Amino acid sequence: MTAYPSLHMIIGGEKVSGGGRRTFDVVNPATGETIGALPLAEAADLDKALEVAAEGFRIWRKSTPQQRAAVLQGAARLMLERQEELARIATMEEGKPLAESRIEVLMNVGLFNFYAGEAQRLYGRELVRPTGQRSVIRHEPVGVVAAFSPWNFPIGNPGRKLGAPIAAGCAVIMKSAEETPASALGVLQCLLDAGLPPQVAQAVFGVPDEVSRHLLASPVVSKLSFTGSTVVGKQLMKLAADNMLRTTMELGGHGPVLVFDDVDVDRVLDTAVPGKFRNAGQVCVSPTRFIVQENVFEKFRDGFVERAKAVQVGDGLAEGTQMGPMANPRRPDAMERLIGGAKDAGATLHTGGERIGNQGFFYAPSVLSEIPLDAEIMNEEPFGPVALINPFKGEDEMIAETNRLPYGLAAYAWTDDVQRQRRLADEIESGMVGINSHMIGGADSPFGGVKWSGHGAEDGPEGVLACMVTKAVHEG
């Protein structure tokens, strides 16, 4: 039985806590009970983290590709050894079923191993010039990265925030979500135990607005990497502009799913329903707006409702749980508001639409249909266990609905018509498109959005290049 660990920050390899610092109560979302007290950074802690990170960058930018690869591979091995402990802690903090937490650890293992390879493939190029002249294009690490990550992937998000800068030769100050600190600390500890110089990566926690204002105002920081809501992302980009920081912004979405009448509806439901209720819908690439061709609308909707009713909801640590609680009390509150608003606007609620039990933050798997397009839930990311299913006539109308919103993170389309598949890949405004698949990621594939879903990518070679700047050196 894994006990929830005591909490601290990590600055220069030192565990920092106590000392009269303010604390934040970490809560188990399945029980509502407080399980830990997280120390929050004071200004002096952030200054110390900046000073150490500046030193970390001076050290790590000179590391060899092999040193970077050895640290990342070593950390991947340790994460695998510690998989069960890390997964249990993530479930205690965030609520997701243990099986999902275990997969998150494995995703990090794959990502760190991929980045270990990328660290050794950071090539530049030499241009053709007259004899006696030389022009070389080099990629250099950008510097100190301020990386802010959210609570929904307590292991995976910190893995992304740490892995790419370390592969690129940068230093990092990570502020992961205060709701899920122990998972982030566990990931960083694997890197430190694998030989990462302690100056290279720091983990701080605090009042988010205080921390981001302090760090982004410092000349030590060269890049902001943020995952979270579009609203907060826009605020942070404004702060980043003052110091002309580079940014990678991984923001919200509203996952459109186009279902055409030439597909086997059950085949779509087999992946769409588990995809929808994964992590109780608190996933930026969650399938959300189901745009269904009218001939198969009723069959699709009824099949969805039947399967949603069968989802086993419970404590993520319990055997057989398919969906855990929502991660914090803000989420069921948001569900009540958004689903209530949709019903008031004339939508039909087929199942769910209510909290479950009187402890923790459980909310029932929910299905709405025939939702007016101006209802708030059709325009704001619901980030919860609700499927929105509407009928549409044909391809043009379905594509128009897909591109209606300012978001463009992940989109999914189901059709067996090969020509239409190509048209959809061309027409859909989204950073990632799944055709007959809900799998849209992988360690080797860029993960990121367009429009209000942000810019830049994590994962893939693009994730490492996003932590680098180019320099052109021309010799006469």
Q: What H or E segment, with its residue span, contains residue 44? A: helix 43-60
In the bound complex, what is the minimum distance in angstroms from residue 42's beta carbon to ligand NAD? 16
- Closest CB to ligand NAD among residues 236, 428: 236
In the bound complex, what is the minimum distance in angstroms from residue 113's beta carbon to ligand NAD? 23
Assess contact for 446 and 465: CB atoms under 8 A.
no
- Closest CB to ligand NAD among residues 229, 271: 229
Alpha carbon distance, N-terminus to C-terminus of the chain: 67
C-beta neighbour count of 298 within 10 angstroms: 14
| 84 near ligand NAD (CB under 6 A) | no
Name the residue with tokens 């060269």.
222
DSSP string, 82-134: THHHHHHHHHHHH---HHHHHHHHHHHHHHHHHHHHHHT----EEE---TT-E
Q: Choose, by CB under 6 A, the member of 222, 227, 248, 415 that binds ligand NAD.
A: 227
- Closest CB to ligand NAD among residues 227, 369: 227
Assess contact for 202 and 174: CB atoms under 8 A.
yes
**Which among 225, 178, 173 has a CA at the least distance from the CA of 201?**
173
Q: Choose, by CB under 6 A, the member of 228, 332, 448, 461 that binds ligand NAD.
A: 228
CA angle 452, 457, 458 (to 5 degrees): 125
All residues at 6 or more sequence positions from 334 whose CB lies less than 8 Å from its CB, including other chains: 382, 383, 384
In the bound complex, what is the minimum distance in angstroms from residue 243's beta carbon to ligand NAD? 15
C-beta neighbour count of 435 within 10 angstroms: 18
- Closest CB to ligand NAD among residues 74, 158: 158
In the bound complex, what is the minimum distance in angstroms from residue 225's beta carbon to ligand NAD? 11
| 385 near ligand NAD (CB under 6 A) | no
In the bound complex, what is the minimum distance in angstroms from residue 423's beta carbon to ligand NAD? 28
Q: Choose, by CB under 6 A, the member of 57, 383, 392, 414 that binds ligand NAD.
A: 383
In the bound complex, what is the minimum distance in angstroms from residue 439's beta carbon to ligand NAD? 17
| 100 near ligand NAD (CB under 6 A) | no
Residues that are catalytic: 250, 284
| 406 near ligand NAD (CB under 6 A) | no
- Bridge partners, residue 196, by sequence: none
- Closest CB to ligand NAD among residues 88, 254: 254
- Closest CB to ligand NAD among residues 227, 415: 227
Assess contact for 389 and 300: CB atoms under 8 A.
yes
In the bound complex, what is the minimum distance in angstroms from residue 235's beta carbon to ligand NAD? 6
The interface with ligand NAD within residues 132-151 (CB under 6 A) comprises 148, 150-151
How many residues make contact with ligand NAD (CB under 6 A)? 21
> Distance between CA 368 and CA 365 in Å, rounded?
10
Contact track, ligand NAD, 271-290, x by CB under 6 A = -------------x------
Residue 338 burial (CB < 10 Å; 0-12/13-18/19+)? buried
> Distance between CA 14 and CA 49 in Å, rounded?
11
Q: What are phi and psi of 418, to 5 degrees?
A: -65, -40
From 68-76, 110-118, 222-230, 436-444, give the range in contact with ligand NAD by CB under 6 A. Answer: 222-230
Q: Choose, by CB under 6 A, the member of 177, 308, 311, 465 that binds ligand NAD.
A: 177
From 244-252, 273-281, 355-363, 467-475, give the range in contact with ligand NAD by CB under 6 A. Answer: 244-252
- Closest CB to ligand NAD among residues 212, 321: 212
| 252 near ligand NAD (CB under 6 A) | yes
Q: Choose, by CB under 6 A, the member of 212, 279, 288, 322 that binds ligand NAD.
A: 212
Name the residue with tokens 């698949």.
437
β-pairing, 221-227 vs 289-293, is unpaired
- Closest CB to ligand NAD among residues 330, 393: 330
β-pairing, 256-259 vs 410-414, is parallel
Name the residues that contact ligand NAD, by CB under 6 A: 148, 150-152, 177, 208-209, 212, 227-229, 231-232, 236, 250-252, 284, 330, 381, 383
